[in-house]
């Protein structure tokens, strides 16, 4: 054993310096990449938001298919189909008067569902940490998996919903010319929503 240990040290002699260099290169790469991302976000926020949104939307699809997470895949397909339809309506020119209401209702619904899912998942995790799952004869592994899954669903679809809502608001505001330097796309979308609510009343009068 001593001979084998000595041979191992002789074989890997000098690797400590190589490992230190690899760690330094990794840290430098992370710092440079972070600086580049910050500069990209500050100088070209529109392209940055589009690229990051597309990656966050599409990349999980690869892992779900590879690992056979069919439940997530089904929810992802349903969310993507409805969101694609809503986004398609929001990017049409001229803008239909009922589109702002549709966009507002859909993303508000997703926000409420994501918020409630995240809260339930957080409570499940905390109850598991305090051992309250044993009162219902639920295994800690099952309770923790349930809570973490709900937390993931809430965070993932909540972030996606926010980014898609901002993108749709930008498109709608730019379509009717309400977006300026002093008016954010969110406030413009709110004005569009108020206008769409008044349309049926004006027609009845």
Distance CA 119, CA 72 (A): 19
Distance CA 18, CA 25 (A): 10
* pLDDT value at residue 204: 38
Task: Provide mean pLDDT across the span 120-148.
Answer: 88
Q: Which residue has the higher pLDDT, 22 or 186?
A: 22
Query: Rounded to 5, what percent of the chain is helix, strand, coil?
Result: 85, 0, 15
Query: 180 - beta bridge partners?
Result: 183
- In the predicted structure, residue 64 carries a pLDDT above the cut 90: no
Nearest to 103 by CA among 27, 164, 175: 164
Q: Is 161:114 a contact under the CB 8 Å cutoff? A: yes
Confidence (pTM): 0.69
Over residues 23-60, the pLDDT tens digits come to 788 888 888 888 888 888 888 887 888 888 888 888 88
Over residues 1-31, the pLDDT tens digits come to 776 766 665 665 655 666 677 778 888 888 8
Task: Provide mean pLDDT across the span 159-183.
Answer: 77
The pair of structure tokens assigned to 12 is 């890997």
Q: Is 60:69 a contact under the CB 8 Å cutoff? A: no
Please state the length of the chain.
Answer: 205
Over residues 74-115, the pLDDT tens digits come to 999 999 999 999 999 998 888 888 888 999 999 999 999 999
pLDDT category of residue 180 using cuts at 50, 70 and 90: very low
The pair of structure tokens assigned to 123 is 């409570």
């Amino acid at each position: 054993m001593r001979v084998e240990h000595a041979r191992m040290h002789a074989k890997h002699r000098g690797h400590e310096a190589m490992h230190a260099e690899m760690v330094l290169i990794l840290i430098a790469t992370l710092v440079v990449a972070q600086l580049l991302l910050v500069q990209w976000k500050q100088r070209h926020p529109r392209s940055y938001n589009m690229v990051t949104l597309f990656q966050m939307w599409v990349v999980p699809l690869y892992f779900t298919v590879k690992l056979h997470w069919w439940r997530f895949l089904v929810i992802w397909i349903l969310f993507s189909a409805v969101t694609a339809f809503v986004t398609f309506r929001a990017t049409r020119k001229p803008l239909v008067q009922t589109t702002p209401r549709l966009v507002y209702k859909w993303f508000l619904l997703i926000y409420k569902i994501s918020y409630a899912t995240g809260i339930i998942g957080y409570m499940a995790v905390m109850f598991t940490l305090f051992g309250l799952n044993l009162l219902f004869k639920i295994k800690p592994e099952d309770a923790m998996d349930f809570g973490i899954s709900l937390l993931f669903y809430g965070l993932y679809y909540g972030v996606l919903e926010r980014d898609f809502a901002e993108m749709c608001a930008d498109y709608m505001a730019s379509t009717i010319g309400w977006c300026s330097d002093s008016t954010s796309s969110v406030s413009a979308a709110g004005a569009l929503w108020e206008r769409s609510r008044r349309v049926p009343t004006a027609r009845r009068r």
